[in-house]
Chain A
Amino acid sequence: MVIDETKMASLAEATSREDVAGRSLWADARRRFFRNKAAIFGMGLLIFVVAFALFGNWVAAWNNSDIDYNVMGDAAASGPSFANGHYFGADDLGRDLFARTVQGTQISLLVGVIGTLIAVSVGTVYGAISGYFGGRVDGIMMRLVDILLAIPYMFVLILLLVMYGRSIGMLFVGVGLISWLEMARIVRGQTLTLKNREYVEAARAIGVPAPTIIRRHILPNLVGVVVVFATLLVPLMILTESFISFLGLGVQEPQTSLGALISEGAGTMSYGTLWQLAFPLFFFVITLFGFYFVGDGLRDALDPKER
C-alpha cells in the first residue's frame, strides 16, 4: 500500500489550520438565508422597490403635482405612453401617475420603516426591562400592554389624526404609538428565558449593575428575534397607513401614498382607466411580498428547526 506523501501533507495542513472553524451563528444563518430561493426573490423585490422610490424621480418626465392639460379628463389619452412621458398614464386630474406612484411608494416605505424603528427602540427596551426585573414590575408593565392591545387602535388612530391634524408627522406618532406593543411582548418572552442563563447569573454574581447586564448580555441576544419581527412588522405598518389613506384620512394632497392611490384608482375603475388601479396596486403587492418573504427567510435562517 502506497501512501501518497503529498496528500497526507495537505490533510495534515488542512486539519491543523485554524481558520477553518469559526462558523458563527450569523455566518451559518447567512448561508441558509442565501440558499432560500423565496427569500432571495423577496430581497430582489425589495431592492427594486427601494430603487424605484429613491431614483424614480430621475426617470420621471413630470412632477407629481403638475397637471398635464393635454390628457386631463380624457380617459383614452391619459393611458400609459412613452410618447408624452406618462409611463404609467395619468390620473383623472391629469397628474403623472409615474411620479405619483414614486411619491406614494416613498411615503409608504417611510411610514413602514419609521413605525418599525419606533417599535424596535421602544418595544425592545420596554420588553427587556419588564422581562428582566420580573415580579410586580413585570405584572404592571405587561398588564398595561394587554390593556392597550385590547383597544381597537385603528379608531383611536383616526381619532388622533382628525383631532390633531392630518400630517405625516402625526401619522408617524400614531403608528409608532401602537406598533411597539406586540414587540414588547415578544422581547419580554425571550428575556424571561435569557435571564436564567449561566452567563447572566455569573454577571449578577460579580456585581454587574442591572442596566449594564441588560445592555451587554440581554439586548445582544435579542437581535435575532427583533430583526425577524421587525421585518414582518414593516408590511403591517404599511397596511395600516394604506388603510387610513384609502379612507381619505391619511396624508393630504398633493402628497400621496400607495393606499390613497389605490383608493383613487378603485374610484375611477368603472371609466375603464384600469392602469390607475393597476400600477399602485402592483407596487403595493410586491412591497408586501418582499417583506414577507425576507422575514420568513430570516426566521428560517436563524431558527432552522422551525422549518
Chain B
Amino acid sequence: MIVYILKRLAVAIPTLLVLIIASFVLMHVAPGGPFTAERAVPPEVLANLNAKYGLDQPLWKQIATYLWGVVAHFDFGPSFVYKDRSVNDIISQGFPVTLTYGFLSFIAAVLVGVTLGVTAAIKRNSWLDYLAVGISIGAQVLPNFVMAPILVLIFTLSLHWLPGGGWSFDDPRFWIMPVIALSTSYMASIARITRSSMLEVLSSNHIRTARAKGLPKRKIIMRHALRPALLPVISYLGPAFVSMITGSVIVDVYFTTGGIGKSFVDSALNRDYAVMMGVTILLGTLTILFNLVVDIIYGWIDPKIRY
C-alpha cells in the first residue's frame, strides 16, 4: 500500500511542477509586460518597477525564486495591479467562501446522486427509475451557467424566495442556489453511473448466491452490491472535482458570492498575471491532492488493484 501511495506521489509532484513552470513561462513570453500602459512610462521608472518585482532577473532565476516562495512559504508574491495587496491577501479573502459552497455541493452531488442511482437500479422500470433517468439526461444539457439564470428566474424573480446573489456565512438562504447550480449536473452524472454499475452488479453471481442464501434484500444491497457498484463512481469523482472547481468561477461571477473565481476573472480582465497564476496553482494543487486521495481510496476499496 505504501509503495502504491509513493507511486501516486511520484506522479503528483512532477504534475505540480509542470503546472507552475508552464504557467510561469507562458506569462513570461506573453506579449506586453504587466506595466505596459497606454501612457508611456519613463524608462527609469520602468527599470525600477522591473527591479522591484524581480523582472530584470534571468528567467530561470525568476522561476526558482517564485517556486521557492510558493513551496517554502506558500507565498505567491505581490499583485501586479493592486500595489498594496499581495496575491495571498486576495486569495485568502475568497477562498473560505469557495471552499464552503464547493464542499456542500460535492457532498450533495455524491449523496443525492448515489441514492438516486441505487433506487433507480433497484426499482428498475418503475416511475422512479424513469424519473431518475429523465433527470440525468436533462441535466446533461443544463450546465451550471445555464442552471444559474434559470434558478434566479424561478426563485428570485418569480417566487421571491431566495436572494439573487451575495453571500453570508450565517444565512443558509444564500447558499441554496449556488449549491444547486453547481451540483446538479454532477448529481445527474453520478446517478447515471451508479444506476448502470448497480444494474450490472445486481445481475452478477455473488448477488445471486446471496439471494439464494436467503439474505434480506437490504443486507444484500448494503453489504454486497454497493461496494463494487461504487467503484466507477469513485473514479468519476476526480474529473468531477476538477470541473466543479472550474464551475465555481461561474457561481462566483453570477451570484456574486465573492469567492476565489471572481478574483480569477477580475484578474483576467485586469491582466493581473500574478493573481491568475496564484489561483491556477492553488486550484491545481487542490485538484492533484484530491486525485491522490481518490486513487488511494480506490486502491483500498478495490481488491483487484495490485500495488
Whether B229 sits at the interface, judged by CB under 8 Å, is no
Chain B residue numbers with a CB within 8 Å of A61 are: none
Are A150 and B15 in contact, with the CB atoms below 8 A?
yes
Contact A246 B250 (CB under 8 A): yes
A164 partner residues in chain B, CB cutoff 8 A: 30-31
Say yes or no for A284: interface residue by CB 8 A criterion. Answer: yes
Q: Is the CB of A285 within 8 A of B141?
A: yes
Partner of A263 from the list B27, B145, B264, B277 (CB cut-off 8 Å) is B145
The answer on a CB contact under 8 Å between A152 and B148 is no
In the complex, what residue of chain B is closest to A296 when comparing beta carbons? B137
- Give Cα A243–Cα B11 distance, bound, in whole angstroms: 29
When each residue 122-155 of chain A gets 1 if its CB lies under 8 Å from chain B and 0 otherwise, what string results? 0000000000000000000001001100111011
In contact, A247 and B250 (Cβ under 8 angstroms) = yes
B284 at the binding interface (Cβ < 8 Å): yes
Query: Which of A8-16, A197-205, A220-228, A265-273 interfaces with chain B?
Result: A265-273
Size bracket, chain A contacts:
35 or more
Contacts of A147 in B (CB 8 A): 11, 14-15, 18
Q: Which of A150-192 contact B (CB under 8 A)?
A: 150-152, 154-156, 158-160, 162-164
A239, B243: Cα distance in complex, Å: 12
Query: Which residues 1-34 in B have Cβ within 8 Å of A in the complex?
Result: 11-12, 14-15, 18-19, 22-23, 26-27, 30-31
Asked, given contacts A152-B280, A262-B146, whether A159 binds B26 with beta carbons under 8 Å apart, the answer is yes
The answer to whether A158 and B141 touch across the interface, beta carbons within 8 angstroms, is no
B166 interface residue, CB < 8 Å from A? no
- Give the shortest distance, in Å, between B43 (CB) and chain A (any CB): 24
Q: Are A292 and B146 in contact (CB under 8 A)?
A: no
**Which residues from B are CB-within-8-Å of A247?**
249-250, 253, 265
Let me know if B107 is at the binding interface, CB within 8 A: no
Q: What 0/1 readout, one digit per residue, does chain A (268-283) give for beta carbons within 8 Å of chain B?
A: 0110001001000100
Indicate which residue in A150, A154, A262, A289 contacts B145 across the interface (CB closer than 8 Å).
A262
Chain A, 65-84, CB within 8 A of any chain B CB: none
Q: When the two chains form the complex, which single residue of A155, A277, A281, A289 contacts B280, counting CB atoms closer than 8 Å?
A: A155
Tell whether, in the assembled complex, residue A150 and residue B146 are in contact, meaning their CB atoms are under 8 Å apart.
Answer: no
Judge if A50 is at the interface, Cβ distance under 8 Å. no
Residues of A contacting B250 with CB < 8 Å?
243, 246-247
Which single residue of chain A is at the shortest CB-CB distance from B238?
A: A150
> Which residue from A150, A162, A265, A289 sits with its C-beta under 8 Å from B271?
A162
Q: Is the CB of B140 within 8 A of A151?
A: no
A259 at the interface (CB under 8 A from B): yes
Q: Which one of B113-121, B149-157, B168-176 is at the interface?
A: B149-157
> Is there contact, CB below 8 Å, between B149 and A269?
yes
Most buried by B among A147, A155, A277, A288: A155
Nearest B residue (CB) for A285: B141
With CB as the reference atom, state the residue of chain B lying closest to A182.
Answer: B239
26 interchain pairs (CB within 8 A)? A143-B11, A146-B15, A147-B14, A150-B11, A151-B287, A152-B246, A152-B283, A152-B287, A155-B246, A155-B283, A156-B23, A159-B26, A159-B280, A160-B26, A162-B276, A163-B27, A163-B31, A164-B30, A242-B143, A246-B145, A247-B249, A249-B265, A259-B145, A281-B146, A285-B142, A292-B141
A-side interface residues toward B, CB under 8 Å?
143, 146-147, 150-152, 154-156, 158-160, 162-164, 239, 242-243, 246-249, 259, 262-263, 265-266, 269-270, 274, 277, 281, 284-285, 288-289, 292
- B residues apposed to A, CB below 8 Å: 11-12, 14-15, 18-19, 22-23, 26-27, 30-31, 137, 140-143, 145-146, 148-149, 152-153, 157, 242-243, 245-246, 249-250, 253-254, 264-265, 268-269, 271, 273, 276-277, 279-280, 283-284, 287-288, 291
